[in-house]
Amino acid sequence: MPTEQALKNRSNNSCELCTSTDTLVVYPVPPTSDLSAQQSIYLCQNCLSQIDGQSELDLNHWRCLNDSMWNQEPAVQVMSYRMLHKLSSESWAQDALDMIYLEDEVKTWAEQGIAAERSNGPTRDSNGAELQDGDNVTLIKDLKVKGANFTAKQGTMVRGITLTDNPEHIEGKVNGTRIVLVSAYLKKA
């Protein structure tokens, strides 16, 4: 049976993450998919555009992961885990990550994709917006700065950031001190 037909049958002809029935496509789950139904999922265009970074992450849309993370299909579990990981700065997503259970080989598959994204992907803020050298960002939570004995307060503007080799970190000046900040705690200004 062709992959798309198998996914239609498995998903009841709906998105396997959010259950939408609008414009569905086969999505091979990276980093190594053999294009089989076991290593692919059926996604709506809304989910696909946000996963691929073509659209900004809609936090309310992804609350559907609270249901899809319990799906019996490993490929759906992997994508649910990865999206929850992307959204882990949100308390509801962190709570879901704390509850999710994955078999060892499924968790390894999920982690491989996260590692591949880190090494290849752009630096993104907490909303998924791509950051560039020289951008201005705002802190979305209080951050204790180790070694500098101060707390960078929520709402503090960091001007003219510099990207690092790690897409999860940026450098910027806070209170006159150059520090490394985790991009998940920033919002592009």
Report the alpha-carbon angle 9-96-31, nearest 5. Answer: 55
Residue 44 domain flag: yes
3-state secondary structure at position 116: helix
20 alpha-carbon distance from chain centroid? 20
Q: Is 70 exceeded by the pLDDT of residue 34?
A: yes
Taking residues 168-177, report their average pLDDT.
Answer: 86
Taking residues 145-156, report their average pLDDT.
Answer: 84
CB 129 within 8 A of CB 188: yes
Q: Is 70 exceeded by the pLDDT of residue 1?
A: no
Helices (H) and strands (E) in the chain, counts: 6, 10
Both 102 and 181 in one domain: the answer is: no
Q: Indicate the average pLDDT of the chain.
A: 88
Taking residues 130-153, report their average pLDDT.
Answer: 87
The pLDDT value given to residue 117: 66
Counting residues of the chain whose pLDDT is more than 90, the rounded percentage is 49
3-state secondary structure at position 137: strand
Range of the domain at 178: 137-188
Q: Lowest mean pLDDT of 108-122, 136-150, 170-184, name the range.
A: 108-122
**SS3 of 23-84:** CEEEEECCCCCCCCHHHEEEEEHHHHHHHCCCCCCCCCHHHHHHHHCCCCCHHHHHHHHHHH
**158 vs 35, higher pLDDT:** 158
Both 69 and 98 in one domain: the answer is: yes
Q: Is 70 exceeded by the pLDDT of residue 54?
A: yes
Both 64 and 155 in one domain: the answer is: no
Q: pLDDT band for position 119 (50/70/90)?
A: low
Q: Is 90 exceeded by the pLDDT of residue 90?
A: no
The pLDDT value given to residue 80: 95
Residue 14 domain flag: yes
Q: 7-32, pLDDT tens digit by residue?
A: 999 999 999 999 999 899 999 998 77
Residues β-bridged to residue 144: 151
3-state secondary structure at position 188: strand
CATH number of the domain to which 153 belongs: 2.30.30.40
Structure tokens given for 121: 């992907």
CB atoms within 10 A of CB 55: 15
Select from 13, 18, 16, 19 the least CA-distant residue to 29. 16
Q: Is 90 exceeded by the pLDDT of residue 126?
A: no
The pLDDT value given to residue 112: 86
Q: How many domains does the structure of the chain reveal?
A: 2
CB 55 within 8 A of CB 127: no
Both 30 and 108 in one domain: the answer is: yes
